[in-house]
Structure 1
Amino acid sequence: MRPQFEHVAVPAGQSWALLWRELPDLPFLWHYHPEFELTLTLNARGQRYVGDDLADFDDGDLVLVGPNLPHTWSAQQRLDEARPMLAIVVWFSRDWLAGLIRALPELAPLWALATGAGRGLCFSPSTARAVRALLPGLHDRDAAQRQPLLLEVLLLLAADAEARPLASSGLGAVEADQQRERIGKVLDHLHAHFHEEIAVDELARRAALSTGAFHRFFKRHTLQTVLGYVTQLRIGHACQQLIQTDKPVGVVAEQAGWRNLAHFNRQFRAHKGVTPREFRARYRTG
């Protein structure tokens, strides 16, 4: 499944968006967007996908995902069957964060938090408990009263020395500048066509750059080469297919973009530390 671009709508008169999502289960919706996303998941147990990272999650899972990093949660098990699953989601832009720090230099630690979120961040149990006690309070406050509470939460996250990155590298950490639209066109194309042969000349044309300038441009904005970026997308897709389908490994490899099964096996083991079959068996037995 290709990751889908998601348009995040910020309500008029507000600078960031809040989603209070109650569901009987969490469907697999592989997607990305240019906003940061902070998600607290309650009364649910399942799998979390962030970039090329796949992990089990439990009640109280707390994750911050950076711009354009593909992600989703998938769960069918509720801890309390009498209540729905709840995902509390906060979306905010890099521009919003930059404006806060310009106006309030005391918030400078949030830059380090934003940088780490490029790979996705999962927080320590103690921080997750502290945020769990605060974040639901956003629901019953008006827009103005939510601001100090969100800042308190973000500063708690920034102070968590035990926060750990999820994806093996950031997939699309885009600077908040006038070139966002240009890199956005390139990333949209890669997310839609990662399973195909990627022509760098075509990407350069979309960015209106020479091939040499495009290589430098792409690495500056994503901290990766085009090949490295595409490989991460393909590995993430392969992980999802191995867990959620019974397709043969060869079919998974081909649909993710590999034409050579041996090369896929080597690449997968290099990124995940196990073979595709071992990876599937580990999650099936779990």
Structure 2
Amino acid sequence: MRSYLEKVPESEDGSFKVMNRRLHDGIPFSWHHHPEYELTLTLNSEGQRYVGDHVGDYGHADLVLLGPNLPHTWASNSRPDDEEPHQALVIWFEPEWIERITNEMSELSGVKKLFQRALAGLSFSDDARHRVVPKIRRFFQEDPLERLFTILRVLAELSEDEYAMQLAHDPVVLSSADGGNERIDRVLTLIHSEYSRALPLEELAETAALSVSGVHRLFQRHTGQTVSEYLKRIRIGDACAQLSGGDAPVSLIAHNVGYSALANFNRQFRAVKGMTPREYRARFRR
């Protein structure tokens, strides 16, 4: 269960990239991030959603908009219809494209604010999802020109959802100053792929080609958290997926996500989730 910098597939015939992902065996826990915005509609699937430091339950027709380089994953527990696969309809938007169209078209001022709010991730209300889910499903059957019209309508409607909920506590805010984009990306990629082992600041500093104090400042500036707090939340998120989706002993799960001492794992888990690992697992046992 590792994370990586996801390479979004190239689009051959449109202004955005799309994927219709169908999985019979479930959606696996797999931390990843990428420089594009992402709109994801998850169908016929139930489980947990992880966005930055957010961990929450999701169900059929879950709809979220994620900002660039915001770590995320889904981990399914079940599907309402056993005859159909878990399905994720994903649309990726280049930040430059969003910036260009929203700056040049005053009619899209609400959409510009929507993407600013999405930097920390947004989950949309039931009313908004009821309105746009049919349009998103139809979008995947349309030709490129109709897709453009449809997605602009969808984004305009979502921009009016005043009950959309911010997911992560802080966005990952990237800056081109001093190679900020490249440096923080290298650090995040290392953390997301190696979080189950000790990651001293010295190693992160070497990865970013900075001093220890420099990487500390870089990380806090871009994520709003210390490295230790960020690591804790990623590890606990992985533990949540393992607790809810299997029967491995708590001690083994603690070891798998990077805790050598079970007591420390239990303490950190309670600090993040407000309950013990066993209490958390009990929520998913019927």
TM-score over 0.5 for the pair? yes
**CA apart distance, 1:131:** 1.0
**Cα offsets for 1:101-153 (capped at 9, x unmatched):** 33234434445433443443221100001111211221232223322321221
Query: 1:179 matched to which residue of 2?
Result: 180
Query: 1:46 matched to which residue of 2?
Result: 46
What is the correspondence of 1:22-33 to structure 2 with a 5 Å cutoff?
22-33=22-33
What is the correspondence of 1:245-264 to structure 2 with a 5 Å cutoff?
245-264=246-265
Query: 1:14 matched to which residue of 2?
Result: 14
Matches of 1:216 and 1:280 in 2, distance apart?
A: 36
Q: Secondary structure at the match of 2:65?
A: strand
What is the correspondence of 1:271-282 to structure 2 with a 5 Å cutoff?
271-282=272-283
Unmatched tracts of structure 1, length 5 or more: none
**Selected match of 2:73 from 71, 74, 78:** 71
**Cα offsets for 1:215-235 (capped at 9, x unmatched):** 222122122211121111111
**CA apart distance, 1:268:** 1.2
**CA apart distance, 1:8:** 0.6
Matches of 2:266 and 2:24 in 1, distance apart?
A: 37
Matches of 2:182 and 2:195 in 1, distance apart?
A: 20
Whether the 8 Å CA contact 2:38–2:90 is kept in 1: the answer is yes
Query: 2:208 matched to which residue of 1?
Result: 207
Distance 1:28 1:146, change over 3 A: same
**CA apart distance, 1:239:** 0.6
What is the correspondence of 1:1-286 to structure 2 with a 5 Å cutoff?
1-12=1-12, 14-34=14-34, 35-42=36-43, 44-51=44-51, 52-66=53-67, 67-74=69-76, 76-79=78-81, 81=83, 83-167=84-168, 169-170=169-170, 172-175=172-175, 179-285=180-286
Matches of 1:170 and 1:96 in 2, distance apart?
A: 23
**CA apart distance, 1:2:** 1.5
**CA apart distance, 1:212:** 2.0
Whether the 8 Å CA contact 2:26–2:86 is kept in 1: the answer is yes
Unmatched tracts of structure 2, length 5 or more: none
**CA apart distance, 1:194:** 1.0
Q: Secondary structure at the match of 1:47?
A: strand
**Counterpart AA for 1:88:** L
Matches of 1:75 and 1:18 in 2, distance apart?
A: 25
Whether the 8 Å CA contact 1:2–1:30 is kept in 2: the answer is yes
Q: Secondary structure at the match of 2:197?
A: coil
Q: Secondary structure at the match of 1:140?
A: coil
Q: Secondary structure at the match of 2:285?
A: helix
Distance 1:246 1:126, change over 3 A: same
**CA apart distance, 1:186:** 0.8
**CA apart distance, 1:197:** 1.2
Whether the 8 Å CA contact 1:69–1:170 is kept in 2: the answer is no
Distance 1:98 1:133, change over 3 A: same
Matches of 2:161 and 2:281 in 1, distance apart?
A: 32
Matches of 1:274 and 1:218 in 2, distance apart?
A: 28
Whether the 8 Å CA contact 2:124–2:161 is kept in 1: the answer is yes
Matches of 2:161 and 2:279 in 1, distance apart?
A: 33
**CA apart distance, 1:198:** 1.3
Whether the 8 Å CA contact 1:39–1:87 is kept in 2: the answer is yes
**Counterpart AA for 1:141:** E
Q: Secondary structure at the match of 1:191?
A: helix
Whether the 8 Å CA contact 2:11–2:18 is kept in 1: the answer is no
Distance 1:110 1:226, change over 3 A: farther
**Counterpart AA for 2:201:** V
TM-score normalised by length of structure 1: 0.87
**CA apart distance, 1:156:** 2.1
Q: Secondary structure at the match of 2:89?
A: strand
